[in-house]
């Protein structure tokens, strides 16, 4: 008899167990692999919960997502479209009546660096040459290379340096020399997932121009003009007498 009662208690408890589950479209997983600007649909369902206690809550990281009333009871759907600033974001769903009953998924958004097209850039002799290429990508790039007129940049011969901080690759020369630095530069990013992408810079080197400080010059002319005008006005009577 005791065993039968124990079994009935277990059976009763199992029928009262509540929880939530998240269905991921198109795949059911705890980590969603997607691409930038794609669409991800998440569906959360309450399991074994009485109708009055099955209100669902969604979080993006720690921020609550606003849901329509009809999208809260028993089954709730969140659509992320397009996927943009969501790499590493965790979406969680839980019961309003019991926030310890929770299910979560994390987005892994892949994207390549924003490199394309060509740009014409003009530098004067002795100016500082600076060219920049975007390195932001997921997964991280295998490499970022620079060429000048189709040949790997010779850092020693051109007095050039290449630096990167994981966000931007920068090619720099402290003083531009026409025979060394004029030409077509190209930065190329190599990704483990995407095809290589690149950007072209057509660098033109011009003669140094003499730069006048325009604003101070204008201010000086105005001061001289006003001073002369005041001087003429203050001596106007004397000037009139001299002219008679």
What per-residue confidence (pLDDT) applies to 15? 33
With b for 16 or more beta-carbon neighbours within 10 A and e for fewer, the 25-48 pattern comes to eeeeeeebebeeeeebebbbbbee
pLDDT band at 221 (very low <50, low <70, confident <90, very high): confident
Query: Which are the contacts of 108, defined by CB distance < 8 A and separation ≥ 6?
Result: 31, 32, 33, 34, 87, 88, 138
Q: Which residues contact 62 (CB under 8 A, 6 or more apart)?
A: none
Regarding whether 99 and 154 lie in a shared domain, the answer is no
110, 129, 154 — which closes off a domain?
A: 110
How large a percentage of the chain has pLDDT more than 70? 77
Question: What local confidence, expressed as pLDDT, does residue 5 receive?
Answer: 31
Q: What is the β-pairing status of strands 98-110 and 31-35?
A: parallel
Which pLDDT score, from 0 to 100, does residue 16 have? 36
Each residue of 79-112: pLDDT tens digit?
999 999 999 999 999 998 888 888 899 999 999 9
20 or 54, higher pLDDT: 54
Note whether residue 227 is domain-resident: no
Closest among 136, 134, 143, 137 to 169, alpha carbons compared: 134
Judgement on whether residues 31 and 89 belong to the same structural domain of the protein: yes
Q: Domain range spanning residue 125?
A: 118-206
18, pLDDT greater than 60: no
The side-by-side arrangement of strands in the sheet containing 197-206 is 118-124, 197-206, 183-190, 143-148, 151-152
63 occurs within a structural domain: yes
Q: Among 110, 138, 168, which residue terminates a domain?
A: 110
* Structural domain contains residue 2: no
pLDDT digits (tens, 9 = 90+) for 133-148: 999 999 999 999 999 9
What is the pLDDT at residue 88? 94
Res. 227 pLDDT band, cuts 50 70 90 = confident
pLDDT mean over 17-34: 71
228 SS3 class: helix
* Residue 6 pLDDT level (bands cut at 50, 70, 90): very low
Token reading at 68: 């329509």
Report in angstroms the alpha-carbon separations of 8 from 11, 18, 112: 5, 18, 58
Please tell me whether residues 92 and 122 are part of one structural domain.
Answer: no
Asked if pLDDT for residue 1 goes beyond 60, the answer is no
Confidence of residue 237 (pLDDT cuts 50, 70, 90): low
Return the CATH number at 33: 2.60.40.10
Helical axes 236-243 vs 214-234, angle rounded to 10°: 60
From 78, 94, 110, give the residue that closes a domain: 110
Cα separation, 76 vs 66, in Å, equals 12
* Residue 3: band (very low, low, confident or very high) from pLDDT cuts 50, 70, 90: very low
pLDDT in tens, 162-204: 999 989 999 999 999 999 999 999 999 999 999 999 999 999 9
Phi–psi pair at 230, nearest 5 degrees: -65, -40
Domain total of the chain:
2
Neighbours of 176 (CB within 10 A): 20
């Amino acid at each position: 008899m005791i065993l039968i009662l124990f079994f009935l208690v277990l059976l009763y408890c199992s029928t009262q167990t509540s929880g939530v589950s998240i269905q991921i479209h198109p795949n059911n997983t705890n980590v969603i692999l997607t691409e930038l600007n794609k669409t991800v649909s998440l569906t959360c369902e309450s399991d074994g919960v009485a109708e009055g206690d099955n209100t669902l809550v969604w979080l993006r990281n720690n921020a609550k997502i606003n849901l329509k009333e009809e999208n809260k009871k028993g089954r709730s759907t969140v659509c992320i479209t397009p996927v943009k600033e969501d790499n590493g974001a965790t979406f969680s769903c839980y019961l309003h009546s019991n926030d310890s009953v929770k299910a979560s998924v994390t987005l892994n958004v892949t994207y390549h660096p924003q490199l394309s097209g060509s740009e014409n850039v003009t530098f004067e002799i002795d100016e500082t040459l600076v060219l920049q290429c975007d390195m932001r990508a997921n997964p991280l790039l295998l490499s970022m290379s620079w060429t000048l007129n189709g040949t790997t940049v010779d850092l020693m011969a051109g007095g050039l340096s290449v630096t990167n901080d994981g966000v931007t690759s920068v090619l720099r020369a402290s003083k531009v020399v026409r025979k060394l630095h004029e030409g077509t530069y190209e930065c190329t990013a190599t990704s483990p997932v995407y095809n290589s992408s690149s950007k072209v810079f057509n660098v033109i080197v011009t003669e140094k121009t003499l730069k006048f400080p325009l604003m101070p010059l204008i201010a000086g002319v105005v001061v001289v003009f006003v001073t002369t005008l005041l001087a003429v006005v203050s001596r106007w009577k004397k000037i009139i007498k001299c002219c008679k």
